[in-house]
Amino acid sequence: MSQKLERLKTLLAEVADLNHAASVLGWDQQVNMPPGGHEARGQQLATLGKIAQEKFISDEIGKLIEDLEGEFAGADPASDEAALIRVAARNYDKARRVPPEFVAEQAVVTSRAFEAWMEAKGKSDFSIFQPHLEKVVELVKRYISFFPPADHPYDILLDDYEPGMKTADVQAIFDALRPKQVELIQAIASAKQVKDDFLFRKYNEKKLNDFGVDVITKFGYDWNRGRQDRAPHPFATTFSVNDVRITTRFEPDNPLAMLFSTMHESGHAMYEQGVNPAYERTILMGGASLAIHESQSRLWENLVGRSLPFWEHFFPVFKKTFPSQLDGVGVKAFHRAVNKVEPSLIRVNADEATYNLHIMLRLELEIAMVEGKVSLKELPEIWNAKMREYLGVTPPNDAKGVLQDVHWSYGSIGYFSTYALGNLISAQLWEKINRDIKNLDDQIRKGNFGELLAWLRTNIHRHGQKFEPQVLVERVTGSKIAAEPYVRYLTKKYSEIYGL
């Protein structure tokens, strides 16, 4: 191996170690840390972030990348070496523009904002979070200013989560998708409605948790390289290919959300556990993008976990676990219930037909924030108005409205559209998977998920960050991210459930 490439890998491994150490602190902040620790934790994260940034943007790394770009100019672009140099160069150029002092300041501001968000959500009072969000948005605008002007300032934020994607691309996809989803929702609204009251009875939290653990163990989540804890907002996090953790939460008024949350986060985690081990401590470790990541979590949660074959396998055990709650309920009635379409307040609990409308709402608000076209003080009222316009429902309070998501407290503006893009990618992949695995439904009906996971390992997981999302999707499915497969999936599924 080239000595310069070996040296670059050594330096990048140290940066990766620092970033993963910060991730451990971030995980602990949400899972274990007492409320009084947030100020110190913010400083700790700031210090680690600043050191990692300074190490990454060093002149030595810059010179190594420059030399290696010349040395590997004729290499196969799909080779690990060429990909590592390409991704390192891209990330270096972006990171070099951002002062380490800014990274440290952002860590402190977002740590405080997260604690304020938790308090504000608990008290359902946006005014507690507002001054912190104002600082977060101010920092986001400063971050944009470090980069050359883009077609739209939001492009710079989106590119951090979805490399190569433009705001106009996402808006075009959403513009094509929105009327078709609205048409489907309207058709469902005029059909006979699904009975689902048995989903909202009292379910024992521990039994639900244990059932979810059994499900994702069958999926293939490796407990020797993972664990599950509780957090205010479910998430997955990676410290190593061999240490990928998930969290869940229990909602007494919507108990089965815990089960689907566990399936969702296991999809993220199995992706990270499936990355080529050779990418450990390199810049290629991790998922290709947030949309590709979300395609994995939504695939396991929805295309598998809400399918009839899945419940034909798991329902007998589930009903035996909860006999009084499910007395007189058959598998088909249960399947219809967990797929009921009903405009709702909370994004993470939204059904597949309405979910993307939640994302489109957030994208509009984020773009308005970046453009300075919205007063943050008025954000709760604007949110509520858009919820009425998009979904016909009005949040009764801030906790179920503008404060429901944690992302803005992290400074993660530019993130939300990846959720909807992930839905679209999951359906594209699903069509290809069903062409390649002819008896997939039968395998799921028998509780066999090994061939499905192996397909995902081979085609998606092992590549890590080697390919940009559009490139990866096109390599696997033959086309870039598109809305049509998702529309076909939703139309077929809900036509069967609702007799459309």
Four-point Cα dihedral 66, 72, 78, 81, nearest 10 = -70
Of 114, 149, 184, the domain-final residue: 149
Looking at the fold, whether 102 and 176 belong to one and the same domain comes out as no
Q: Report the candidate in 9, 94, 12, 79 with the shortest Cα–Cα distance to residue 52.
A: 12
Structure token digits, residue 52: 């990692």
Between CA 422 and CA 48 the distance in angstroms is 31
In tens digits, what is the pLDDT along the chain, a chain of 500 residues? 689 999 999 999 999 999 999 999 999 999 999 989 988 998 999 899 999 999 999 999 999 999 999 999 989 999 999 999 999 999 999 999 999 899 889 989 998 999 999 999 999 999 999 999 999 999 999 999 999 999 999 999 999 999 989 999 999 999 989 999 989 999 998 999 999 999 999 999 999 999 999 999 999 999 999 999 999 889 999 999 999 999 999 999 999 999 999 999 999 999 999 999 999 999 999 999 999 999 999 999 999 999 999 999 999 999 999 999 999 999 999 999 999 999 999 998 899 999 999 999 999 999 999 999 999 999 999 999 999 988 989 999 999 999 999 999 989 999 899 999 999 999 999 999 999 999 999 999 999 999 999 999 999 999 999 999 999 999 999 999 999 999 999 999 999 999 98
Can you give the pLDDT at residue 100?
87
Between CA 359 and CA 381 the distance in angstroms is 18
Catalytic residues: 265
Contact 229, 31 (CB under 8 A): yes
CATH code of 31's domain: 1.20.58
Looking at the fold, whether 46 and 191 belong to one and the same domain comes out as no
Of 115, 149, 183, the domain-final residue: 149
Phi, psi dihedrals of residue 235, rounded to the nearest 5°:
-160, 165
Looking at the fold, whether 67 and 114 belong to one and the same domain comes out as yes
Looking at the fold, whether 101 and 203 belong to one and the same domain comes out as no
Has residue 389 been placed in a domain? no
Can you give the pLDDT at residue 270?
98
Looking at the fold, whether 132 and 226 belong to one and the same domain comes out as no
Between CA 315 and CA 334 the distance in angstroms is 8
Has residue 211 been placed in a domain? yes
Looking at the fold, whether 363 and 445 belong to one and the same domain comes out as yes
Has residue 386 been placed in a domain? no
Looking at the fold, whether 117 and 54 belong to one and the same domain comes out as yes
Has residue 157 been placed in a domain? no
Task: Bin 114: left if φ > 0, else alpha if -120 < ψ < 50, else beta.
Answer: alpha
Can you give the pLDDT at residue 84?
97
CATH code of 483's domain: 1.10.1370.30
Has residue 179 been placed in a domain? yes
Structure token digits, residue 117: 């968000």
Has residue 159 been placed in a domain? no
Looking at the fold, whether 144 and 172 belong to one and the same domain comes out as no
Q: Which residues contact 453 (CB under 8 A, 6 or more apart)?
A: 219, 220, 270, 274
Of 120, 149, 178, the domain-final residue: 149
Can you give the pLDDT at residue 371?
94
Between CA 436 and CA 452 the distance in angstroms is 10
Can you give the pLDDT at residue 119?
95
Between CA 445 and CA 450 the distance in angstroms is 13
Amino acid letter at 221?
Answer: Y
Q: Structural domain tally of the chain?
A: 2
Contact 453, 270 (CB under 8 A): yes
Looking at the fold, whether 190 and 229 belong to one and the same domain comes out as yes
Write the burial class of residue 328 (CB in 10 Å: 0-12 exposed, 13-18 middle, 19+ buried).
exposed
Half-sphere CA count of 419, side-chain side, radius 13 A: 22
Looking at the fold, whether 268 and 239 belong to one and the same domain comes out as yes
Q: Which residues contact 401 (CB under 8 A, 6 or more apart)?
A: 345, 380, 383, 384, 387, 395
Looking at the fold, whether 140 and 183 belong to one and the same domain comes out as no
Has residue 392 been placed in a domain? no
Looking at the fold, whether 190 and 271 belong to one and the same domain comes out as yes
**The domain containing residue 11 runs over which residues?**
3-149
User: Taking the CB of residue 32, how many other CB atoms lie within 10 A of it?
Assistant: 11
The pTM of the full predicted model, rounded to 2 decimals, is 0.91
Contact 1, 272 (CB under 8 A): no
Has residue 66 been placed in a domain? yes
Can you give the pLDDT at residue 1?
67
